């Protein structure tokens, strides 16, 4: 059965908005969450252009109380068929060091927020005996990137959580699906100044995700060539695997939140 009630976090991001386009069709009702009001409005228009209905909520995923109320309100109005937890943030580091506020933000957005969102949606899914939970990790969880310390760590932890949750919910009707993309052409990837092998468009990635979810796959990892190379790398001695990783070093430019924080620090100094 195709999902009719879909909640997407990070709906204003490149992949999140592509998922709106991929699922927008008559009979679908969205709840779209994001922090950029202008982009959220554009995502809502994408939904409408496909014949779907969209409710939006302009709030940060790290506002646990607001997220809990928002998700439960949507669930109470007819349940949640598909929970797409696409919100995420990527930051760099300087020789192994990240500012504390940056580290805490990455862990809050990438790890704590999706776990809390799942807990808000679960009562309704269990009561209705249905619902797909799509948790977005990354291939960086399988091949941690030297220039993405907190990102790799958060996505690795999220991968473990998804596997554990899948096992925990067996028999409840709620299913868990681990999404592990490689490089997707989004504004987040634009800040990754280094090699981005097998880069694909957000719309193509969204189609792969939808197809995998419709097939009921527990793990959806892509692109397959990069997955195969990472699996091969992980079979090599650590020194050789590390040498390969050095060829993919990158500079990670600050995102808007980092830039704003640094500007504020300069003002205060």
Closest CA to 151 of 143, 163, 140, 135: 140
**Prior bond to 220 cis, omega within 30?**
no
Cα torsion 192, 198, 202, 204 to 10°: value is 180
Give yes or no: 151 in active site. Answer: yes
**DSSP labels for 230-255?**
HHHHHHS-HHHHHHHHHTT--EEPPP
- Asked if 95 and 66 touch (Cβ cutoff 8 Å), the reply is no
> Phi-psi category of 171—alpha, beta or left, where left has phi over 0 and alpha has psi -120 to 50?
left
Question: Which residues, in sequence order, are bridge partners of residue 30?
Answer: 6, 54
Count the alpha carbons within 13 Å of 105 in the hemisphere toward its beta carbon: 16
| From 136, 151, 161, 222, the catalytic residue | 151
- The pairs formed by 64-73 with CB atoms below 8 angstroms and a separation of 24 or more are 64/112, 64/113, 64/116, 67/33, 67/113, 67/116, 67/117, 67/120, 68/116, 68/120, 70/31, 70/33, 71/7, 71/31, 71/117, 71/120, 71/121, 72/120, 72/123, 72/124
Which residues does the annotation mark as catalytic? Answer: 151
């Amino acid at each position: 059965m195709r999902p009719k009630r879909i909640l997407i976090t990070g709906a204003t991001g490149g992949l999140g908005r592509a998922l709106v386009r991929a699922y927008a069709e008559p009979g679908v009702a969205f709840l779209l969450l994001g922090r950029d009001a202008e982009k959220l409005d554009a995502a809502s228009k994408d939904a409408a252009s496909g014949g779907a209905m969209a409710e939006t909520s302009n709030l940060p995923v790290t506002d646990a109380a607001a997220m809990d109320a928002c998700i439960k309100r949507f669930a109470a109005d007819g349940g949640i068929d598909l929970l797409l937890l696409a919100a995420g943030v990527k930051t760099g580091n300087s020789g192994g060091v990240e500012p504390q506020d940056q580290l805490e933000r990455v862990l809050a957005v990438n790890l704590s927020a999706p776990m809390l969102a799942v807990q808000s949606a679960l009562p309704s899914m269990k009561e209705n005996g249905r619902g797909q939970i799509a948790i977005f990790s990354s291939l960086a969880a399988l091949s941690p990137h030297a220039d993405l310390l907190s990102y790799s760590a958060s996505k690795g932890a999220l991968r473990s959580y998804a596997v554990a949750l899948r096992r925990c919910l067996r028999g409840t009707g709620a299913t868990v699906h681990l999404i592990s993309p490689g490089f997707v052409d989004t504004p987040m990837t634009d800040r990754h100044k280094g090699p981005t092998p097998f880069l694909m468009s957000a719309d193509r990635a969204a189609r792969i995700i939808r197809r995998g979810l419709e097939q009921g796959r527990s793990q959806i990892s892509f692109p397959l060539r990069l997955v195969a190379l990472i699996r091969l790398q992980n079979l090599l001695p650590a020194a050789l695997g590390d040498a390969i990783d050095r060829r993919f070093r990158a500079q990670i430019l600050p995102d808007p939140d980092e830039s704003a924080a640094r500007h504020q620090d300069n003002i205060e100094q």
